[in-house]
Amino acid sequence: MLEKMKGGLVVSCQALPHEPLHGSHHMAAMARAAKESGAVGIRANGYEDIREIKSKIDLPMIGILKFNDPSYDAFITATKEHAKLVSDAGADIIAVDATARSRPVPFPELVVYIKQTLGKLVMADVSTWEEGVEAERVGCDMVGTTLSGYTEATKHRTNPDFELIETLVNKLKVPVIAEGGIRTPEQAKRAIDLGAFFVVVGGAITRPQEITARFVEGIKR
Ligand SMILES: CC(=O)N[C@H](C=O)[C@@H](O)[C@H](O)[C@H](O)COP(=O)(O)O
């Protein structure tokens, strides 16, 4: 499965409850459009969306479950229960928050559970290269730059974080996934040229409100 994704584009099809396109019907339509135009995989959030997309579109699925619990900071598939839901929905790869922030289950325990009990691959969503090294050490199958810019320690960084992509490629043996803030085909190509295994693009393709805002701003400027 991973060989088929190498050098390609994964489209993240996500709309949270407050977003205009929220709903698995819309997300499955986005995923279908992505597949028709050559995407090699889909990333999606939550049981309903993952299940609906998987039932309609035959592409590898990176599944997540986003949940903000006030008692800890990690928010992407941070518990075993959430990992099981994502797995039951049909995800092939489960992406997890791998940042060095507070979490409900020790990270190595979550990784072992996903790999051994659920039998799925683990993508570690990190914000720093140190977190990437730790994720590889505890057995994650791939490391993504997803959370650079989204933690207290990295909020000063701009994305796409090409420096992080490059550093992770140099330090890790597992595939490095470029994700977060990629807005143009040129940026996606640059990430691949730096050694990213595949590229994940979300908002620039599947969040029309983001795209509209950029055009409106562009006209004002
Ligand atoms: C930080 C966070 O919550 N990231 C989420 C992770 O799944 C998604 O909201 C992003 O859309 C995804 O990572 C793709 O990134 P971008 O939409 O920038 O291309």
DSSP one-letter string for the chain: -HHHHTT-EEEEE---TTSTT-SHHHHHHHHHHHHHTT-SEEEEESHHHHHHHHHH--S-EEEE-B---TT-S--BS-SHHHHHHHHHHT-SEEEEE-SSS--SS-HHHHHHIIIIIS--EEEEE-SSHHHHHHHHHTT-SEEE-TTTTSSGGGTT--SS-HHHHHHHHHH-SS-EEEESS--SHHHHHHHHHTT-SEEEE-HHHH-HHHHHHHHHHHHH-
Tell how far the Cα of 146 is from the centroid of ligand 1, in angstroms. 7
pLDDT at 75: 98
**Residue 185: per-residue pLDDT:** 98
Best mutation site among 14, 22, 157 for ligand 1 pocket (most ligand atoms within 8 Å of CB): 14
pLDDT of residue 2: 96
Task: Determine whether the shortest distance from the Cβ of 202 to ligand 1 is under 6 A.
Answer: yes
Polymer length of the chain: 221
* pLDDT value for 212: 98
Measured in Å, residue 202 CA sits from the centre of ligand 1 at 6
- ipTM over cut 0.85: yes
Top mutation candidate among 127, 179, 201, 205 for ligand 1, by most atoms within 8 Å of CB: 179
What confidence tens digit (pLDDT) does each residue in 190-215 have? 999 999 999 999 999 999 999 999 99
The pick from 18, 146, 148, 154 for probing ligand 1's pocket by mutation, whose C-beta has the most ligand atoms within 8 angstroms, reads 146
Going by pLDDT thresholds of 50, 70 and 90, the confidence category of residue 125 is very high
54-69: per-residue pLDDT in tens?
999 999 999 999 999 9
Q: What is the pLDDT of residue 161?
A: 98
Residue 195, pLDDT score: 98
Q: Which two tokens stand for residue 177?
A: 């996934």
Q: Percentage of the chain surpassing pLDDT 70?
A: 100
Q: Tell me the C-alpha distance between 56 and 171, whole Å.
A: 38
Per-residue model confidence (pLDDT) at position 91:
98
pLDDT (average), residues 81-91: 98
Omega into 160 within 30° of 0, i.e. cis?
yes
Which pLDDT score is estimated for 90? Answer: 98
- Read off the pLDDT band of 133 (50, 70, 90): very high
- Please work out whether the CB of residue 146 comes within 6 Å of at least one atom of ligand 1: yes
Q: What is the pTM of this model?
A: 0.97
Q: Assess contact for 94 and 120: CB atoms under 8 A.
A: yes
Residue whose C-alpha is closest to residue 59's, from 29, 88, 38, 84: 38
Q: Tell me, what's the pLDDT at 207?
A: 98
Task: Give the whole-number percent of the chain exceeding pLDDT 90.
Answer: 100
Map out the domains of the chain with their CATH numbers. 8-220 (3.20.20.70)
What does the pLDDT look like over 147-187, one tens digit per residue? 999 999 999 999 999 999 999 999 999 999 999 999 999 99
Residues paired with residue 200 on neighbouring β-strands, in sequence order: 10, 179
Neighbour count for residue 157 (Cβ, 10 Å): 18
End-to-end, the C-alpha distance of the chain in Å comes to: 44
Residue nearest to atom 10 of ligand 1 (CA): 202
Q: What is the mean pLDDT of residues 84-113?
A: 98
Mean pLDDT for all residues in the chain: 98
Give the number of the atom of ligand 1 that is nearest the alpha carbon of residue 64.
7
User: Separation of 216 CA from ligand 1 center, angstroms?
Assistant: 22
| Residue 109: band (very low, low, confident or very high) from pLDDT cuts 50, 70, 90 | very high
Cα distances from 212 to residues 1, 36, 43, 205, in angstroms, run 34, 23, 22, 11
C-beta 126 within 6 A of ligand 1: no
Ligand 1 centroid vs 116 CA: distance in angstroms?
27
Ligand 1 neighbour 182 (Cβ under 6 A): yes
